[in-house]
Protein backbone atom coordinates (compact mmCIF):
# COMPACT_ATOMS: atom_id res chain seq x y z
CA UNK A 1 0.00 0.00 0.00
CA UNK A 2 1.50 3.35 -0.97
CA UNK A 3 0.74 7.04 -1.39
CA UNK A 4 2.82 8.75 -4.08
CA UNK A 5 0.56 11.58 -5.14
CA UNK A 6 3.25 14.14 -5.94
CA UNK A 7 3.48 15.22 -9.58
CA UNK A 8 6.18 13.45 -11.51
CA UNK A 9 9.42 15.39 -11.61
CA UNK A 10 8.55 17.78 -8.79
CA UNK A 11 11.67 18.91 -6.90
CA UNK A 12 12.59 18.73 -4.20
CA UNK A 13 10.36 15.86 -3.15
CA UNK A 14 9.27 15.61 0.49
CA UNK A 15 10.90 12.87 2.56
CA UNK A 16 9.51 9.36 2.17
CA UNK A 17 8.18 7.63 5.30
CA UNK A 18 7.30 3.96 5.64
CA UNK A 19 4.56 3.23 8.22
CA UNK A 20 4.16 -0.36 9.37
CA UNK A 21 1.22 -1.68 11.44
CA UNK A 22 -1.04 -4.75 11.19
CA UNK A 23 -4.10 -2.59 12.02
CA UNK A 24 -5.46 -0.66 9.05
CA UNK A 25 -7.02 1.95 11.37
CA UNK A 26 -3.60 2.80 12.80
CA UNK A 27 -2.15 3.23 9.32
CA UNK A 28 -5.07 5.45 8.36
CA UNK A 29 -4.45 7.64 11.41
CA UNK A 30 -0.76 8.02 10.51
CA UNK A 31 -1.82 8.89 6.95
CA UNK A 32 -4.04 11.69 8.25
CA UNK A 33 -1.28 13.02 10.51
CA UNK A 34 1.55 12.99 7.95
CA UNK A 35 0.18 13.08 4.42
CA UNK A 36 0.27 16.88 4.08
CA UNK A 37 4.04 17.04 4.62
CA UNK A 38 5.50 13.71 3.51
CA UNK A 39 5.31 10.97 0.93
CA UNK A 40 4.05 7.79 2.52
CA UNK A 41 4.42 4.04 2.10
CA UNK A 42 2.43 1.51 4.11
CA UNK A 43 2.92 -2.13 5.10
CA UNK A 44 0.76 -4.39 7.28
CA UNK A 45 3.45 -6.92 8.21
CA UNK A 46 7.17 -7.02 8.84
CA UNK A 47 8.11 -9.02 5.76
CA UNK A 48 6.42 -6.52 3.44
CA UNK A 49 8.05 -3.70 5.39
CA UNK A 50 11.51 -5.19 4.88
CA UNK A 51 10.82 -5.61 1.17
CA UNK A 52 9.66 -2.00 0.78
CA UNK A 53 12.56 -0.68 2.83
CA UNK A 54 15.08 -2.38 0.53
CA UNK A 55 13.27 -1.33 -2.65
CA UNK A 56 12.27 2.24 -1.83
CA UNK A 57 14.90 3.32 0.76
CA UNK A 58 12.57 5.52 2.85
CA UNK A 59 14.04 8.34 4.90
CA UNK A 60 12.35 7.08 8.09
CA UNK A 61 10.32 4.07 9.28
CA UNK A 62 7.43 4.13 11.80
CA UNK A 63 7.23 0.55 13.03
CA UNK A 64 4.69 -1.26 15.19
CA UNK A 65 6.12 -3.81 17.64
CA UNK A 66 3.37 -6.37 18.21
CA UNK A 67 2.54 -7.86 14.81
CA UNK A 68 1.68 -11.42 13.78
CA UNK A 69 4.69 -13.43 12.66
CA UNK A 70 7.85 -11.34 12.67
CA UNK A 71 7.74 -8.70 15.39
CA UNK A 72 8.81 -5.11 15.02
CA UNK A 73 11.88 -5.76 17.17
CA UNK A 74 13.03 -8.55 14.89
CA UNK A 75 12.27 -6.50 11.77
CA UNK A 76 14.34 -3.64 13.17
CA UNK A 77 17.26 -5.96 13.85
CA UNK A 78 17.08 -7.20 10.25
CA UNK A 79 17.01 -3.64 8.93
CA UNK A 80 20.09 -2.72 10.95
CA UNK A 81 21.93 -5.87 9.85
CA UNK A 82 21.47 -5.02 6.16
CA UNK A 83 23.96 -2.38 4.88
CA UNK A 84 21.34 -1.18 2.39
CA UNK A 85 18.89 -0.22 5.16
CA UNK A 86 21.03 0.12 8.29
CA UNK A 87 21.14 3.92 7.99
CA UNK A 88 17.34 4.37 8.00
CA UNK A 89 16.10 5.62 11.39
CA UNK A 90 13.34 3.53 12.96
CA UNK A 91 10.77 4.91 15.40
CA UNK A 92 8.65 2.33 17.21
CA UNK A 93 4.95 3.20 17.45
CA UNK A 94 3.42 0.81 19.96
CA UNK A 95 1.02 0.28 22.86
CA UNK A 96 3.89 -1.23 24.85
CA UNK A 97 5.03 1.43 27.29
CA UNK A 98 7.07 -0.30 30.00
CA UNK A 99 10.68 0.77 30.42
CA UNK A 100 11.83 -2.76 29.58
CA UNK A 101 9.95 -2.59 26.28
CA UNK A 102 11.63 0.70 25.43
CA UNK A 103 15.04 -0.74 26.28
CA UNK A 104 14.38 -3.70 23.98
CA UNK A 105 13.43 -1.29 21.20
CA UNK A 106 16.58 0.77 21.55
CA UNK A 107 18.71 -2.36 21.74
CA UNK A 108 17.14 -3.49 18.45
CA UNK A 109 18.37 -0.26 16.85
CA UNK A 110 15.44 2.18 17.10
CA UNK A 111 16.10 5.89 17.55
CA UNK A 112 12.82 6.76 19.31
CA UNK A 113 9.63 5.40 20.82
CA UNK A 114 6.05 6.74 20.44
CA UNK A 115 3.31 5.17 22.53
CA UNK A 116 -0.26 4.53 21.39
CA UNK A 117 -2.75 6.10 21.29
CA UNK A 118 -0.62 8.51 19.34
CA UNK A 119 -0.78 12.28 19.66
CA UNK A 120 -0.62 13.96 16.21
CA UNK A 121 1.61 16.84 17.42
CA UNK A 122 4.00 14.35 19.05
CA UNK A 123 4.19 12.21 15.91
CA UNK A 124 4.88 15.23 13.71
CA UNK A 125 7.50 16.61 16.11
CA UNK A 126 9.37 13.30 16.46
CA UNK A 127 9.34 12.69 12.71
CA UNK A 128 10.54 16.24 11.99
CA UNK A 129 13.35 15.94 14.56
CA UNK A 130 14.73 12.67 13.24
CA UNK A 131 14.48 13.71 9.61
CA UNK A 132 16.48 16.83 10.53
CA UNK A 133 19.17 14.60 12.03
CA UNK A 134 19.23 12.53 8.83
CA UNK A 135 19.67 15.71 6.81
CA UNK A 136 22.53 16.86 9.06
CA UNK A 137 24.28 13.51 8.61
CA UNK A 138 23.87 13.75 4.83
CA UNK A 139 25.32 17.28 4.77
CA UNK A 140 28.24 16.20 6.98
CA UNK A 141 28.96 13.24 4.71
CA UNK A 142 28.79 15.42 1.58
CA UNK A 143 31.15 18.00 3.10
CA UNK A 144 33.57 15.25 4.07
CA UNK A 145 33.56 13.81 0.55
CA UNK A 146 34.26 17.25 -0.94
CA UNK A 147 37.20 17.74 1.44
CA UNK A 148 38.62 14.31 0.61
CA UNK A 149 38.24 14.82 -3.15
CA UNK A 150 39.97 18.20 -2.98
CA UNK A 151 42.84 16.54 -1.11
CA UNK A 152 43.06 13.87 -3.81
CA UNK A 153 43.10 16.54 -6.52
CA UNK A 154 46.23 18.05 -5.01
CA UNK A 155 47.93 14.64 -4.86
CA UNK A 156 47.17 13.81 -8.49
CA UNK A 157 48.59 17.16 -9.57
CA UNK A 158 51.76 16.19 -7.75
CA UNK A 159 51.97 12.84 -9.61
CA UNK A 160 50.89 10.97 -6.51
CA UNK A 161 48.19 8.34 -6.17
CA UNK A 162 45.24 8.61 -3.83
CA UNK A 163 46.77 5.91 -1.65
CA UNK A 164 49.22 8.40 -0.14
CA UNK A 165 46.55 10.55 1.47
CA UNK A 166 44.67 7.49 2.70
CA UNK A 167 47.72 5.91 4.32
CA UNK A 168 49.12 9.08 5.88
CA UNK A 169 45.67 10.03 7.20
CA UNK A 170 45.35 6.69 8.96
CA UNK A 171 48.89 6.97 10.31
CA UNK A 172 47.96 10.40 11.66
CA UNK A 173 44.80 9.10 13.31
CA UNK A 174 46.72 6.27 14.92
CA UNK A 175 49.32 8.67 16.28
CA UNK A 176 46.63 11.09 17.43
CA UNK A 177 45.01 8.42 19.57
CA UNK A 178 48.41 7.42 20.98
CA UNK A 179 49.01 11.09 21.84
CA UNK A 180 45.78 11.29 23.85
CA UNK A 181 43.12 12.38 21.38
CA UNK A 182 39.63 11.01 21.95
CA UNK A 183 37.85 9.14 19.15
CA UNK A 184 36.00 12.20 17.82
CA UNK A 185 39.19 14.29 17.72
CA UNK A 186 41.09 11.47 16.04
CA UNK A 187 38.34 11.08 13.42
CA UNK A 188 38.48 14.81 12.68
CA UNK A 189 42.24 14.44 12.21
CA UNK A 190 41.70 11.47 9.87
CA UNK A 191 39.33 13.52 7.73
CA UNK A 192 41.34 16.76 7.81
CA UNK A 193 44.76 15.26 7.02
CA UNK A 194 44.05 14.68 3.29
CA UNK A 195 43.98 18.47 2.87
CA UNK A 196 47.57 18.89 4.06
CA UNK A 197 49.00 19.65 0.60
CA UNK A 198 45.93 21.15 -1.07
CA UNK A 199 47.95 24.32 -1.69
CA UNK A 200 49.94 22.48 -4.35
CA UNK A 201 47.00 23.18 -6.63
CA UNK A 202 48.40 26.71 -6.81
CA UNK A 203 52.00 25.72 -7.66
CA UNK A 204 53.00 25.78 -11.37
CA UNK A 205 53.53 22.34 -12.91
CA UNK A 206 57.00 23.33 -14.12
CA UNK A 207 58.05 23.53 -10.46
CA UNK A 208 55.84 20.86 -8.96
CA UNK A 209 56.88 18.23 -11.49
CA UNK A 210 60.47 19.31 -12.13
CA UNK A 211 62.67 16.18 -12.15
CA UNK A 212 65.78 18.06 -11.01
CA UNK A 213 66.56 19.94 -7.82
CA UNK A 214 64.69 23.24 -7.42
CA UNK A 215 66.68 26.47 -7.44
CA UNK A 216 66.25 29.06 -4.70
CA UNK A 217 63.47 30.98 -6.45
CA UNK A 218 61.60 27.79 -7.33
CA UNK A 219 61.93 26.51 -3.78
CA UNK A 220 60.45 29.74 -2.43
CA UNK A 221 57.46 29.27 -4.73
CA UNK A 222 57.12 25.63 -3.67
CA UNK A 223 57.11 26.61 0.00
CA UNK A 224 54.19 28.93 -0.63
CA UNK A 225 51.89 25.93 -0.98
CA UNK A 226 51.46 25.90 2.80
CA UNK A 227 49.95 29.38 2.91
CA UNK A 228 48.05 28.80 -0.34
CA UNK A 229 46.49 25.72 1.24
CA UNK A 230 45.47 27.67 4.32
CA UNK A 231 43.90 30.34 2.09
CA UNK A 232 41.99 27.72 0.08
CA UNK A 233 40.56 26.10 3.20
CA UNK A 234 39.78 29.48 4.79
CA UNK A 235 39.15 30.65 8.33
CA UNK A 236 36.83 28.53 10.47
CA UNK A 237 36.06 28.98 14.17
CA UNK A 238 36.08 25.27 15.02
CA UNK A 239 35.67 21.76 13.68
CA UNK A 240 37.34 19.68 11.03
CA UNK A 241 37.99 22.51 8.56
CA UNK A 242 39.75 24.57 11.22
CA UNK A 243 41.92 21.52 11.89
CA UNK A 244 42.58 21.14 8.14
CA UNK A 245 43.73 24.75 7.87
CA UNK A 246 46.12 24.35 10.82
CA UNK A 247 47.56 21.22 9.24
CA UNK A 248 48.03 22.81 5.81
CA UNK A 249 49.81 25.77 7.39
CA UNK A 250 51.99 23.94 9.92
CA UNK A 251 52.90 20.44 8.72
CA UNK A 252 56.18 21.72 7.20
CA UNK A 253 57.27 23.46 10.39
CA UNK A 254 60.11 21.70 12.24
CA UNK A 255 60.66 21.09 15.93
CA UNK A 256 63.96 23.01 15.87
CA UNK A 257 62.40 26.05 14.16
CA UNK A 258 64.00 25.54 10.75
CA UNK A 259 60.78 24.76 8.90
CA UNK A 260 58.32 26.91 6.95
CA UNK A 261 56.29 29.06 6.44
CA UNK A 262 56.53 30.72 9.88
CA UNK A 263 59.62 29.19 11.48
CA UNK A 264 57.65 27.87 14.45
CA UNK A 265 59.48 25.66 16.95
CA UNK A 266 58.58 23.05 19.55
CA UNK A 267 55.08 23.14 20.99
CA UNK A 268 54.36 26.43 19.24
CA UNK A 269 53.64 24.15 16.26
CA UNK A 270 50.05 22.90 16.55
CA UNK A 271 49.83 19.27 17.68
CA UNK A 272 47.97 18.28 14.51
CA UNK A 273 50.77 19.76 12.37
CA UNK A 274 53.43 17.87 14.32
CA UNK A 275 51.48 14.62 13.94
CA UNK A 276 50.89 15.01 10.19
CA UNK A 277 54.57 15.92 9.63
CA UNK A 278 55.58 12.47 10.88
CA UNK A 279 52.80 10.61 9.07
CA UNK A 280 53.45 12.44 5.79
CA UNK A 281 57.24 12.00 5.77
CA UNK A 282 57.05 8.35 6.82
CA UNK A 283 54.68 7.53 3.97
CA UNK A 284 56.71 9.55 1.46
CA UNK A 285 59.88 7.69 2.44
CA UNK A 286 58.28 4.25 2.24
CA UNK A 287 56.53 4.88 -1.09
CA UNK A 288 57.78 4.83 -4.67
CA UNK A 289 58.19 8.26 -6.23
CA UNK A 290 59.25 9.16 -9.80
CA UNK A 291 62.62 10.27 -8.41
CA UNK A 292 63.27 7.47 -5.88
CA UNK A 293 62.55 3.90 -4.83
CA UNK A 294 60.58 3.11 -1.71
CA UNK A 295 62.66 2.92 1.44
CA UNK A 296 62.32 -0.19 3.62
CA UNK A 297 60.31 0.51 6.76
CA UNK A 298 63.42 -0.06 8.87
CA UNK A 299 65.33 2.72 7.08
CA UNK A 300 62.40 5.12 7.41
CA UNK A 301 62.20 4.32 11.13
CA UNK A 302 65.90 5.05 11.50
CA UNK A 303 65.40 8.40 9.73
CA UNK A 304 62.62 9.31 12.18
CA UNK A 305 64.93 8.45 15.07
CA UNK A 306 67.71 10.59 13.63
CA UNK A 307 65.34 13.52 13.16
CA UNK A 308 63.61 13.40 16.56
CA UNK A 309 64.23 16.73 18.23
CA UNK A 310 65.26 18.32 14.93
CA UNK A 311 62.54 17.87 12.31
CA UNK A 312 60.06 16.02 14.51
CA UNK A 313 58.56 16.23 17.99
CA UNK A 314 60.66 13.63 19.87
CA UNK A 315 57.79 12.44 22.06
CA UNK A 316 55.57 11.90 19.02
CA UNK A 317 58.31 9.98 17.22
CA UNK A 318 58.58 7.65 20.21
CA UNK A 319 54.80 7.14 20.23
CA UNK A 320 54.77 6.52 16.48
CA UNK A 321 57.38 3.80 16.82
CA UNK A 322 55.28 2.01 19.46
CA UNK A 323 52.55 1.69 16.80
CA UNK A 324 54.67 0.00 14.13
CA UNK A 325 52.62 -3.22 13.90
CA UNK A 326 49.44 -1.22 13.24
CA UNK A 327 51.35 1.09 10.87
CA UNK A 328 52.57 -1.88 8.85
CA UNK A 329 48.99 -3.17 8.67
CA UNK A 330 47.79 0.17 7.29
CA UNK A 331 50.64 0.20 4.76
CA UNK A 332 49.72 -3.29 3.56
CA UNK A 333 45.99 -2.60 3.44
CA UNK A 334 46.36 0.46 1.21
CA UNK A 335 49.37 -0.61 -0.81
CA UNK A 336 49.89 0.77 -4.31
CA UNK A 337 48.15 -1.37 -6.93
Examine the domain organization and report whether 80 and 225 are in the same domain.
Answer: no
Asked if 128 and 89 count as a contact pair (C-beta separation under 8 A), the reply is: no
| pLDDT for 138 | 76
> What stretches in the chain show pLDDT beneath 70?
1-12, 97-98, 156-162, 290-291, 337
Examine the domain organization and report whether 96 and 198 are in the same domain.
Answer: no
| pLDDT for 218 | 95
| pLDDT for 211 | 80
Is residue 224 reached through a cis peptide bond, with omega within 30 degrees of 0 on the bond before it?
Answer: no
Q: How far apart are CA 28 and CA 42, in angstroms?
A: 9
For the domain that residue 259 is a member of, what is the CATH number?
1.10.3210.10
Own/partner pairs, 299-307, CB within 8 angstroms, 24+ separation: 304/278
| pLDDT for 106 | 86
Examine the domain organization and report whether 187 and 273 are in the same domain.
Answer: yes
Classify residue 145: in a domain, yes or no: no
Examine the domain organization and report whether 218 and 130 are in the same domain.
Answer: no
Q: How far apart are CA 336 and CA 331, in angstroms?
A: 9
For the domain that residue 121 is a member of, what is the CATH number?
3.40.50.2300
Examine the domain organization and report whether 216 and 313 are in the same domain.
Answer: yes
Examine the domain organization and report whether 86 and 177 are in the same domain.
Answer: no
Classify residue 6: in a domain, yes or no: no
Give CA 109 to chain center in angstroms: 21
Examine the domain organization and report whether 129 and 235 are in the same domain.
Answer: no
Classify residue 148: in a domain, yes or no: no
From 104, 136, 168, give the residue that closes a domain.
136
Q: Which domain holds residue 94?
A: 16-136
Classify residue 152: in a domain, yes or no: no
Q: Which residues, 6 or more positions from 329, have their beta carbon under 8 angstroms from its beta carbon?
A: none
Asked if 200 and 252 count as a contact pair (C-beta separation under 8 A), the reply is: no
Classify residue 198: in a domain, yes or no: yes
| pLDDT for 208 | 86
Examine the domain organization and report whether 209 and 86 are in the same domain.
Answer: no
| pLDDT for 292 | 80
| pLDDT for 63 | 95
Asked if 333 and 283 count as a contact pair (C-beta separation under 8 A), the reply is: no
Examine the domain organization and report whether 32 and 115 are in the same domain.
Answer: yes
Classify residue 90: in a domain, yes or no: yes
Residue-by-residue DSSP string for 150-177: HHHHHHHHTT--HHHHHHHHHHHHHHHH
Classify residue 7: in a domain, yes or no: no
Classify residue 64: in a domain, yes or no: yes
pTM greater than 0.85: no
Examine the domain organization and report whether 107 and 168 are in the same domain.
Answer: no
Q: Between 225-233 and 239-250, two packed helices, what is the crossing angle to 10 degrees?
A: 170
Examine the domain organization and report whether 167 and 103 are in the same domain.
Answer: no
Examine the domain organization and report whether 119 and 209 are in the same domain.
Answer: no
Count of the separate structural domains present in the chain: 2
| pLDDT for 164 | 85
Amino acid sequence: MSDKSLPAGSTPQPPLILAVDDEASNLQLLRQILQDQYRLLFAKDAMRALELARQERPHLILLDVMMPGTTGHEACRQLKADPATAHIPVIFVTALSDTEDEVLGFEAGAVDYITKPVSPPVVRARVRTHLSLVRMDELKDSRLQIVQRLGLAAEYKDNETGMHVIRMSHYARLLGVAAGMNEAQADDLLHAAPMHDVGKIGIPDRILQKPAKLDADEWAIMQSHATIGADIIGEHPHGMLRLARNIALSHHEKWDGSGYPNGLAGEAIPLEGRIVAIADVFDALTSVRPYKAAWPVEEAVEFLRQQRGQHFDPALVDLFLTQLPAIRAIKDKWAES
